[in-house]
Structure 1
């Protein structure tokens, strides 16, 4: 399955094929639509959560159709429960496919997490143990998703607040093997790396040094909330409700120094700011992307951190 082929499975494209590589983008929020259109900006991309657009019509689709005419779009699923113990919801998967066919996104992604149990749906992206059985189970789900939609998906690394004693491999080894078995790409959430490393008292740089950066096609940046656990130790929550912190910017630049520019999204999903604030975050990411263009001889072999 050819990565990044937005024409896969289509007889003809309904929308323009905008480039997305090396660009910074932002989450698309409807309250920003007027400002976006008035700005006459034509650089960058927008990402939407798939589940917000699974109805047949209405204002959400009118707004997204207008944006898609002028910008590349990335579709990011949050409720597939790829790591869940039960079979994937085929109705949800069918709606996911229909949305992808409707908007021809440049990138499609989901989470390495689970969020359903029988008939219960949790409003969280929950972790899973890293074992051989879990690996096969998740790989089967990724295969099913990719076969259904007719194209590659990107899998996002989780934010972690605990580890499982049952785990027999590291998260990076688990993700690397998933990509090898399924041919999926990866979405590297740098904020999640920082959140997990802080919460689990590990090294974010060591994590990135062992991460399969060669198959990363999108990067996420976001803000997080700072709390304390029962022992008074820092506890970070992946809240997407504020600006990207300095430490995450530093990690991001460290990644790009080895990989070259990768499409990067600034997520801001609650306590949503005005449009100029969000564009400043995207501009900061774009400035780093523009500084990290690699010579031609390094583009085929991305260096480790």
Structure 2
């Protein structure tokens, strides 16, 4: 594997630029957490996904890149880094332990990328998560349901649920789950995931950070930014009234709201296709390095 060495004057500005970009998202979240305030849109990516603000802020150049000079000690202490003659960089031996996960994720992304986008779910997954619940059982109890509990139930009952994403489906209420067009499971995820799904496109962020520091941090941040934008539409189309936070509802219970939601879906699917393609290329690169190093690089967990 060829190595590229970054001199201090080369990588310090890039790392600082990355941190400044990411701090526009992490700093408000950390301030809210400190004050005990929660935001159902802006905080979701930090609460649902298992990548901390600190990890998101740290810049990584990716596999095959070596950082030299002052400032590398913080990287030297990371489990997935190793020392080279000229500095420190991500350790391909540690990458070898993730081969099975790399293959699974790369195949999932490629299968999803190869399918046509479906845009007929209208964001009803959030409605299915509160279907036939009591007032004290909703996830975002600080915000009222726009149509009330009965009105929310009626919207669910007047539509066919067509969710294709298991990690949304698993949060459906017991009463809502049988109303979905298909029973979903982790095992069926590769055959069901499709590129029109908001949550499948948000999960590009997970696919990127899961293989940090071997994946470049620019791509992780780009996927975070997409997921953040998607979350806004996701919650505007939800049954919750978030007008107090400045979010106008997308009324998917009406034809005009459905059209607005579908237009948003298609725009996000286009952005996600570009990022998914970049991710596939990076994971292919990582798999190539693992295979190049041979069977000894594989360490099953």
**Shorter-chain TM-score range:** under 0.3
TM-score by length of 1: 0.23
TM-score by length of 2: 0.23
Higher strand fraction: Structure 1 or Structure 2? 1
Higher helix fraction: Structure 1 or Structure 2? 2
> Higher RCO, 1 or 2 (CA under 8 Å, sep at least 6)?
2
Larger Rg: 2
